[in-house]
Chain A
Amino acid sequence: MKRVSLVVTLALAAGLSAQAASAQTLKTVKDRGMLSCGVSQGLPGFSSPDDKGNWTGLDVDICRAIAAAIFNDASKIKFVPLSAKDRFTALQSGEIDVLSRNTTWTLSRDTSLGANFTGVTYYDGQGFMVKKALKVNSALELNSASVCVQQGTTTEQNLADYFKGNNMKYEVIAFGTNDETVKAYESGRCDVFTTDVSGLYADRLKLANPADHVVLPEVISKEPLGPMVRHGDDQWFDIVKWTLYGMITAEELGITQKNVDELAKSDKPEMKRVFGTDGNLGEQLGLTKDWVSRIVKSVGNYGESFERNVGTGSKLGIARGINNLWSKGGIQYAPPIR
């Protein structure tokens, strides 16, 4: 881990000194013929490789959608697996074009890191997992517990706040990667494993006996997860931002992977704007007119991606909840494409 961050830092120093702050990410990506996308080191449902090395997940779909919008080919991506503590340095140094790695949007990250969040792909919150045998029913019963956590996350800070705020003592053991953290929890070094609730469900699948572990009901924080891009390139910021909005808009309009070709012929003014048969909105972004149909053809709309990766159609089986569309009781909402 030390070596990785050292290399990344040297790359950062070199990158920052060699090239002027590039405001041309789109051109760089096109010239390279490939999008470089920072993902996790393996979090089922969000970004994890299968046994053939194909990356899948909600965060991965964002990158695939961007690649589809640029190249009309969702496979022109290089995935860069990053630990929580190395991710921002990799983005700053230009090693990756976009960070799509279940990263919580906070004020300090949005400002001092030299990067911007482009939107929220998943509204999450932090929770706790314990062994059923401990017979704990609430996070407030965790006084004096040992807690395993991945370092360099908002989780680590929320944990400190929560135990302090509730006058409880605890012992924290922080590991460099998620896998090490889960392994230490499973070996009995800790009583509690904490991360975002979606992560708890995903990591529980990795345990030997998932049924022996229970996720406690308390959600102790707001964790809006979303992609990040570097400061200083507004065009690229817009492309990544509107890729997500394109997926959400497609769901709002009922455009799916199956009916996209059919609906593209629609005469409705709204559909014509979205599909680019009227106006040149896609070109204003620096993309092509048919950017939305390219995205939907390759990864589907937001709802399809959600169901396939983390929703009831997946192993995780997480309900849509607040991640549903605003019109269906959730808070996912896209500004109009016009």
Chain B
Amino acid sequence: MAIEPRKPPSLLLPRLQRALGGRTGWSGFVLQLLFVAALAWICYEIVANARANLQAQRITAGFGFLANTAGFDVSQNLIPYSGSDSYTRVFLVGLLNTLLVSVIGIFFATLIGFIVALSRLSPNWLLSRIAGGYVELIRNLPLLFQILFWYLAVLAALPNPRQSISIFDSFFLSNRGLVIPKPIGTPGFEPFVVALLVAIVAAIALSRYARQQLFQSGKVIKVWPYVLGLVIGLPLISALIFGAPVSFEVPALKGFNFAGGARVIPEFVALVLALSTYTAAFIAEIVRAGILSVHKGQMEAGSSLGLQRGSVLRLVVIPQAMRVILPPLTNQYLNLTKNSSLAVAIGYPDLVSVFAGTTLSQTGQAIEIIGITMGVYLLISLVTSAIMSFYGWRISRSMG
């Protein structure tokens, strides 16, 4: 008797039932459908009512304002901007300022966080207690208070521009920020960059080759002198042939402030300091938890292979700890980005300050502007999450 191959049961129906909250049959489906319909109706009512009432009160609505002239200036702009540019440009200026402070804040927060975590786990009693004290002090004080502390208590105590602290007469530190010589590209700039890129690519190829050799034949090739020679030598040769790649515009005191040079404004410094030290305290605890989650035997196994403590941490423990560290670390990165909106308290021109602040007040279009701003923060957070997930995926893949 031939046995009929049994058909695999259709997965669609049970899946649908599960999605509908476990109820079987049509009653569940109908309930869910009603719920979704009610939700859609409420959303529609909110939008339609808001629109009708905006019209009734003759409040301007829509996104036409984005093309209008902004008419106000901003203290820090990464792209050229003046008061005669549009609100769209203001939006971009604010967004870039937010991204700048977030990226730099995340970099320093991670760096400080790892250092503090490793210090706290160090066998050195004093070091571990100092690290512990740092974590407990910083994470238990409100962030806004810390921002104001750096801004009003530390940076505002710097001297005024006329009595600024000068280093080699080219770097000036005052309560207007740090003024540094500004590099200006000369004709030798392009060949210099090309030479540097070539040198870096060659150095990477060389290191890979050395690594391959190590794994295949066990030969240890001392690669760093060549790398150093390449990275320094090639650009140097380019500079000798084509001339120096940059010249420096040295700042000088002129009137109330320094003219020329590039400037790091104190609002930016205060914000980066506060955000990175504050977030670092949380990251330190996350990293410590991650490292402690790796079995002690791993450390001992590494040591018995003859590796030093630093190498054990770097090659054995931290890669395994990363799986535990990564999800809460992502949370901290997202927190830092969102916390950067506290900038408005110290006059740093971030997205919330110039767009959801000044632009909103000038145009009065609260719904559109708050909507855009929320959307942007959501997008930044989702992109950050995606990058971190990708990194996590790579780690778990490489560890099999």
Contacts and interface: CB of A to CB of B under 8 A. Distances in A.
B156 A189 contact: yes
Interface stretch (A6-14, A24-32, A39-47, A311-319): A6-14
B54 A5 contact: no
A157 B72 contact: yes
A175 B347 contact: yes
Contact of A85 (B56, B152, B342, B358): B358
B56 A176 contact: no
B59 A2 contact: no
A312 B72 CA distance: 35
A85 B361 contact: yes
B53 interface: yes
Given A114-B58, A152-B357, A187 B152 contact: yes
B255 A144 contact: yes
A18 to B, nearest CB: 8
Contact of A174 (B75, B160, B367): B75
Interface of A: 1-2, 5-6, 8-9, 12-13, 16-21, 84-89, 92, 108-109, 111-114, 134, 142-146, 148, 151-153, 156-157, 159-161, 164, 170-176, 180-181, 183-184, 187-189, 191, 230-232
A172 B71 contact: no
Interface size grouping (class) on chain B? 35 or more
B73 interface: yes
Interface stretch (B42-50, B180-188, B280-288): B42-50
Given A16-B50, A17-B46, A231-B57, A89 B366 contact: yes
Contacts of A113: 59-60, 364
Contacts of B59: 92, 112-114, 231
A190 to B, nearest CB: 9
A161 B362 contact: no
Contacts of B255: 143-145
Most buried by B among A134, A145, A189, A232: A189
B133 interface: no
B237 interface: no
Most buried by B among A17, A145, A148: A17
Contacts of B73: 159-160, 170, 172
B357 A114 contact: no
Contacts of B111: none
B53 A112 contact: no
B327 interface: no
B256 A176 contact: no
A230 B57 contact: yes
Contacts of A170: 73
A231 B56 CA distance: 8
A85 B365 CA distance: 12
Given A2-B352, A174-B347, A174-B358, A114 B257 contact: no
B254 A176 contact: no
Most buried by A among B60, B341, B353, B363: B353
B118 interface: no
Contacts of B361: 84-88, 151-153
Most buried by A among B344, B349, B352, B360: B344
A188 B256 CA distance: 12
B358 to A, nearest CB: 5
Given A144-B257, A174-B75, A231-B57, A180 B366 contact: no
Contact of A160 (B72, B347, B357): B72
Given A13-B46, A113-B364, A174-B358, A188 B160 contact: yes
25 contacts: A1-B352, A2-B352, A2-B356, A5-B370, A9-B366, A9-B370, A12-B366, A13-B367, A17-B50, A21-B56, A84-B361, A92-B57, A112-B363, A114-B59, A134-B256, A146-B176, A151-B358, A161-B71, A172-B74, A173-B75, A176-B345, A183-B152, A187-B152, A187-B156, A232-B57
A5 B353 CA distance: 11
B357 A151 contact: yes
Given A160-B83, A174-B354, 5 more contacts: A16-B50, A113-B364, A157-B72, A187-B175, A232-B58
Given A2-B352, A6-B370, A88-B364, A188 B175 contact: yes
A71 to B, nearest CB: 26
A2 B344 contact: yes
